[in-house]
Structure formats: C-alpha cells, structure tokens
Amino acid sequence: MPVELGFYDSDSRHPAPESPGAATLTTASWCARRGWPVHPLAAGRKTPAANCTRCRTDPHPAAQCPCLPAGLWCHGFHAATLDQRRITQWWSAHPELGVGVACGPAGLVVIDIDAHPAQPPSRERILPGIPIGDHVDLTGLANGFHTLAVLAALRGERCPAEDNTTLRVRTPSGGLHVWYRAVDRRRWRCSAGSSQGAALAWQVDVRAHGGYIVAPGTTTRDGTYIPVDHVREPAALPTWLAQELERTGHLPAPSIHAPRPVPPRAHQAVLAAGGGHDSTFRLIARVLAPVEACGQVTEGAGFSDTLNRAAYTLGGLVAAGRLTEEEAQHALTQAAVTARPGQERRAAQIISSGLAAGRRHPLHTRRGPDDVTRQRG
C-alpha cells in the first residue's frame, strides 16, 4: 500500500489514491489543476523520463521537436503540460512514472535545501557575497538547513525551512523543498548551492525558470516526497528572500534585442587565424550569436543543442585551418559562460564533444561567409 499522505484532503474531487498507479495519475492531475505543468519522471528516479530513440540519437532543440505536438514526453520539462487528457494518457499507460513540475511555467520558485554529509567549503562560499570572518565559529555547520538559517538570522527573518505558511515537502534524503509563488513577472532562474556562479547558500539549490521539481506525493526508489503539515499551496515569495535571490544573481541580464557583439576573444581568434579576416569574423559572429542569445532566455532556448552546433561548426573551421583549436575553444567557452554562468563543467563537455565531431568534417567557405560547405571525406 502507498504511503498515506493526506495530500488530497484539500481537493475533494480526488480522494487519496489506493494504488501506486492511481497515485501518480492523481498527483499529476492535482498539480495540473493548480496551473503547474507536469511531465513524467523515470520510474523510481527523480530525473525526467528518457527521450524517444530519435531524440536521443539526433540532438535538436526542444522547440523544434515533432514529439511534443504529437503528445510525447521527450525533452524533460519542455514537455510539461496542463492538458488533463494527455496527463491521463501518460500516467494511465505508464503508472510507474513519477511526476515532475516545470517551475517556470508554473510561476514557482522552490528552495531546495539539502542535507548531504559533506565538508563545508571555504568561508566565502558558505553564503556567497557575505563575508564570514575567521572569528565566527562555524563548528557544527554541516548542511543547507544550517546555512539558510544563518542567512535568515542575518536578515532578521524566519528561515524558509520553518515557514509553515507555505507548501513544504520532505525529500527522501532528509532535505526539504520549500515552495513559493513568484509574485511578479521576473523570471527567477535556477542555481546549485555549490555553483561558482549564482548561488544562494551552500547546499541550498533554487528551482525556477529552466528547471523542474519533483511533485509532492511522488515515490522514488529512495522514498516518497511527503508534504509537511497540512499546507498545500505555495505562499508568495517573501520580499527579503526575493532580494537575496536578486543579490546573488538569480535574475537574467536585461533583454537585449539587438545581436550581442562577438566576445573579444573570438575576434582575436579570427584575426590570429589569418586570411579572410572579415569573412571569417562574420561567420564566427553568426555561429556564436545563437549561443549568446540563449542568455536572454532562461527556459526553452535549447542551450545544449545550440552550443553543440556552434562547437561542431567551429570544429570544422579548425579542420579547415581557419582558426586554431585553442582559439575555437576560448571563443566558445566565453560565449557559453556569458549565456549560462555557473554551468562551466557542462559547457566544457558539450564544447569538447562538438569540436571533436566538427574536426572530422572540414568547413570551407565559398562565395561568401553565409555559404559554407563540408568537405566530403
């Protein structure tokens, strides 16, 4: 028998489910009725269900994927829906799948507090942007509950972990998800507490635009995500917490409608490559522009695919002798960091893979920078 959550007490249309299969469908439907788009999670896991074979073998932007209009769940939270018929179709056929909520479209900001056993980082990384002097005794500080409590205490506010006015969900690992409702149109973005970029506090992640959260009531192989107390609705994001998120870089840069300039390092790479400076510069500007444009959108931009295509193209230019491997890598890295700060490791993997694939297919220009062709091997 599933764990009795009392989760649906506030919604008489859906009594507590009696079987694991009914539980997932009921959870997904309950979330969707509250305006929270849902998508399937892999059975027993907290990661999105796998893409179809085509989407796994042929990378492409989610917005251009024919699977989504066809009612398939490829591309994780990009497939999230409020359509009750589709929800019934998905979870009736696959009751073993879990339920994820796309935070951005749902207008949610979820504070994900971790309690993983780990050695605390250096003092400047415990509360990014807030210096902690050597005279402060940090003995006993061991997880996100502690760091968030310190931050709240410094601001004279109640710690979100103790906020009984909003939906809180206990995780199987001993952590806590604190759900809030964004009160304006600002597109708060995700972060990891260990990130060198935007981060609220050590072992405190933020789930917002560009991310998803496991729905309360979902069961994985590690346990069930169980709501705390009886509050089932997210409260408005507290003003002080919004200010902290803004301070720590959780808002994207203002939208810039004109194309951004090519990173200086990319320009230097073009000049160093020699021969056809102007045409090569225009070509690299065109290649890198979509990558940097992803920085204007925190969700649905297809960043990984866009960066991979750019790396593949520059790899072809490297193979054709238009610029060096180091120059291509530096230009791509700078564009990627501009678009997605704090995701350097992920970007480096994409760049390395894309360059390697592109080097196998030299890219030559013919007639002009907008007309290129791959050399047949």
pLDDT at 353: 84
**Looking at the DSSP assignment, which residues form a beta bridge with residue 41?**
48, 98
Split at pLDDT 50, 70, 90, the class of 349 is: confident
Q: How far is CA 205 from CA 80, 105, 143, 344, in A?
A: 21, 19, 12, 17
Q: Does 124 score more than 80 pLDDT?
A: yes
pLDDT at 7: 53
- SS3 of 101-130: the string is EEHHHHCEEEEEECCCCCCCCCHHHHCCCC
Per-residue pLDDT tens digits for 36-89 = 999 999 999 999 999 998 888 887 888 889 999 998 999 999 999 999 999 999
Same-domain status, 48 and 93: yes
Q: How far is CA 76 from CA 44, 178, 247, in A?
A: 16, 22, 29
Q: Does 206 score more than 80 pLDDT?
A: yes
Same-domain status, 139 and 194: yes
pLDDT at 265: 45
Domain encompassing residue 307 = 264-374
Please, which residues have CB within 8 angstroms of residue 38's CB and are 6 or more apart in sequence?
28, 31, 32, 80, 81, 82, 87, 99, 100, 101, 102, 215
* Structural domains in the chain (count): 2
Per-residue pLDDT tens digits for 249-265 = 998 765 434 444 444 44
Same-domain status, 160 and 48: yes
pLDDT at 35: 95
pLDDT at 377: 39
Look at residues 247, 282, 301 and tell me which one is the last residue of a structural domain.
Answer: 247
- The mean pLDDT of the chain is 82
Higher pLDDT, 254 or 205: 205
Same-domain status, 43 and 74: yes
Look at residues 217, 247, 277 and tell me which one is the last residue of a structural domain.
Answer: 247
Same-domain status, 232 and 276: no
* Range 82-104 average pLDDT: 95
In whole angstroms, what is the distance from residue 191 CA to residue 170 CA? 20
Same-domain status, 165 and 274: no
Same-domain status, 180 and 285: no
List the Cα angle 311/316/318 in 5-degree steps: 90
Work out the burial of residue 43: count CB atoms within 10 Å of its CB; fewer than 13 is exposed, 13-18 middle, 19 or more buried.
Answer: middle
Split at pLDDT 50, 70, 90, the class of 279 is: low
- Considering only CA atoms, which of 56, 84, 238 is closest in space to residue 152? 238
